[in-house]
Amino acid sequence: MYQFVGFFFAYLVGSAGYLLFRRLKIPTPALLGSMFGCGLLGIAGYYPKFPVQAVSFLSNALIGIMLGRLIDRNVFSQIRKLLRPVLCLSAGMIVLSLTSGFALYGLTDLSMITSLISGAAGGIAEMIIYGISVDADVSVIACIQTFRVVTFVMLIPYFAKIAEKLGGRKRDAKPVQGAERGPLFIRKEYLALAIISLAGAVIGKRLGIPSGALIGAMIASGSYATTIGKRYRYDSRLRCFAQIALGMVMGERVTPEAMSGLGTILIPALAVTGIMFMGSALFAFMLYKTTDWDLVTCLLCAAPAGLSQITVYAEEIGADTFTASVFHTVRIISIVTIYPLVTMLF
Task: Please give the pLDDT value at position 129.
Answer: 65
The CA-atom distances, in angstroms, between 294 and each of 201, 279, 284, 344 are 31, 19, 10, 38
pLDDT of 179 > 60? The answer is no
pLDDT of 175 > 60? The answer is no
Task: Please give the pLDDT value at position 82.
Answer: 87
Burial class (CB in 10 A: 0-12, 13-18, 19+), 26: middle
Going by the DSSP 8-state scheme, the letter that residue 70 receives in this structure is T
Alpha carbon distance 17, 35 (integer Å): 8
Reported as a single tens digit per residue, the pLDDT across 87-109 is 999 999 999 999 999 999 998 88
Reported as a single tens digit per residue, the pLDDT across 14-35 is 999 999 988 987 767 888 789 8
Give the residue-averaged pLDDT of 55-79. Answer: 82
pLDDT of 137 > 90? The answer is no
pLDDT of 180 > 70? The answer is no
pLDDT of 128 > 80? The answer is no
Alpha carbon distance 43, 260 (integer Å): 10
pLDDT confidence bin for 168, thresholds 50/70/90 = low
Burial class (CB in 10 A: 0-12, 13-18, 19+), 278: exposed
Give the residue-averaged pLDDT of 295-304. Answer: 87
Task: Please give the pLDDT value at position 89.
Answer: 92
Give the residue-averaged pLDDT of 105-115. Answer: 90
Give the residue-averaged pLDDT of 125-153. Answer: 79
Task: Please give the pLDDT value at position 200.
Answer: 95
Alpha carbon distance 240, 63 (integer Å): 10
Reported as a single tens digit per residue, the pLDDT across 226-261 is 899 888 988 878 888 988 998 898 788 777 776 676
Tell me the pLDDT of the chain averaged across its residues: 83
pLDDT confidence bin for 181, thresholds 50/70/90 = low
Alpha carbon distance 227, 61 (integer Å): 20
pLDDT of 172 > 50? The answer is no
pLDDT of 5 > 70? The answer is yes
pLDDT confidence bin for 39, thresholds 50/70/90 = confident
CA dihedral sign, ordered 296, 215, 307, 185: positive
Residues 6+ apart with CB under 8 A from 244: 11, 14, 15, 18, 30, 31, 33, 34
Domains detected in the chain: 2-343 (1.20.1530)
Task: Please give the pLDDT value at position 125.
Answer: 67
Residue 231 bridge partners (DSSP): 184
- Report the candidate in 290, 194, 249, 318 with the shortest Cα–Cα distance to residue 56: 249
Task: Please give the pLDDT value at position 261.
Answer: 65
Reported as a single tens digit per residue, the pLDDT across 202-216 is 999 898 776 788 889
Task: Please give the pLDDT value at position 178.
Answer: 44
Lowest mean pLDDT among 56-65, 198-207, 306-315: 306-315
- The answer to whether the CB of 243 falls within 8 A of the CB of 27 is no
Give the residue-averaged pLDDT of 278-307. Answer: 88
Residue 281: how many other CB atoms lie within 10 Å: 16
Alpha carbon distance 121, 257 (integer Å): 22
Task: Please give the pLDDT value at position 155.
Answer: 82
